[in-house]
Amino acid sequence: MIEIRMLYIFENDKRAIAEVASKLVIMKTHILNGDALLQRFPEAIKGEKIIARECLVDGDLFGDTFEQFMLNRATFIASYPQCTEAQYLAEAKPEFEKIRALTHENLVELWFEEDLFCQVNLWYICSLLVDNKVCKVRWVKPNEGNEYSFADMSDAELTLAKDNALSLSQHDLAFFAKCWQAFYLNDYAQFTLLLNQLPSHLCMIKNAINAQLSRQPDENGLGYPERKLLAIMKHHALNNNLAFAPVFKEYYAKMAVYSYGDLQVYRMYQQLMQQYFSTYE
C-alpha cells in the first residue's frame, strides 16, 4: 500500500512533489567561514546557511563543555577593538548551536579555504559533526590560484567549486577532529604524527599543518609568524615608518598561508612594539 500511495503522489500530485522537493532543499546546509562569503554567496545555490564567525587560530580555547568554551571565546573576542562579549554570544554562538543541531539527515557542505586561519575553524566544526554522527559532508574548496581566499572568485567559479566539492568520509572527518584536538592541546608532536599520516586526497592541508608547526616558540618565545613580523617591523623602522597599516600590508602579502586578519596581526604588533620598540618615536 505504501508503494502504491507513493506512486500515486509522484504521478498525480504536483503540489506534493514540490513540497517534498522543498524539504530536500532545506536539508542541505552550507557552513560558510565568515560573513564575507555570505555577502557574495551565489543566489542560485540553495540551502540553509550557517556562518562560522570565529578566529579559533587565536586566543583562549579552554572549556570542558560547549557552554564554557563559548563563554571563554566571548571573553577573548571582547579583547579585540570594537568587539563585545554580548555581540559574540548573540551573533557567533547561535551559529555553532545550529551546527551542533545537525544530524545524519543533513547534507553539509563546508566552504573553507586552505590557510591555517580557515583550517582551524574547519577542524573544530568537523569535530562537532563527528560528535553528532553527521555523515554526508562535502568540502567546497577555492579553485587553483585562490587556495587561501574565495574573495576573487566569480559566481560561476563558486558554483563550479561547489559542483567539484570533495566528499569527506567518516575517516576524513575523524582526521580533521584529531587536528583540532592537537591544535586545542597545542601538541606539536601530535601534529607531526598527523602530517606523516595525512591521506593523499587531503594533501592540500599540508601547508596549514606545517604553518601550525612553525608557530612553535623559539628561545625568545616567538614563533615563525612573530619572527617574520618582527623582521618586517625592523625594516620599516629603518625607514622611520612603523605605522601599522604598511606593516600589515606587507605581512599579509608574505604570510598568506596563515591568513591572519588585521585584529590578529595588530595584537602581535602591539606586543612586539612593547618588547622591541619601546623607545621608538
76-105 residue pLDDT tens: 999 999 899 999 999 999 999 999 999 999
Q: For every one of its 281 residues, what pLDDT tens digit does the chain have, with 9 covering 90 and above?
A: 445 445 445 555 656 555 555 554 447 999 999 999 999 999 999 999 999 999 999 999 999 999 999 999 999 999 999 899 999 999 999 999 999 999 999 999 999 999 999 999 999 999 999 999 999 999 999 999 999 999 999 999 999 999 999 999 999 999 999 999 999 999 999 999 999 999 999 999 999 999 999 999 999 999 999 999 999 999 999 988 999 999 999 999 999 999 999 999 999 999 999 999 987 65
Q: Read off the amino acid at residue 134.
A: V
Q: Of 166, 198, 167, whose CA–CA distance to 182 is shortest?
A: 198
> Quick one: pLDDT at residue 18?
56
> Quick one: pLDDT at residue 26?
47
Sequential DSSP letters for 162-204? HHTPEEE-HHHHHHHHHHHHHHHTT-HHHHHHHHHT--GGGGG
Q: How far apart are CA 6 and CA 150, in angstroms?
A: 42
Q: How far apart are CA 90 and CA 32, in angstroms?
A: 18
Contact predicate 79/108, CB 8 Å: no
> Quick one: pLDDT at residue 2?
47
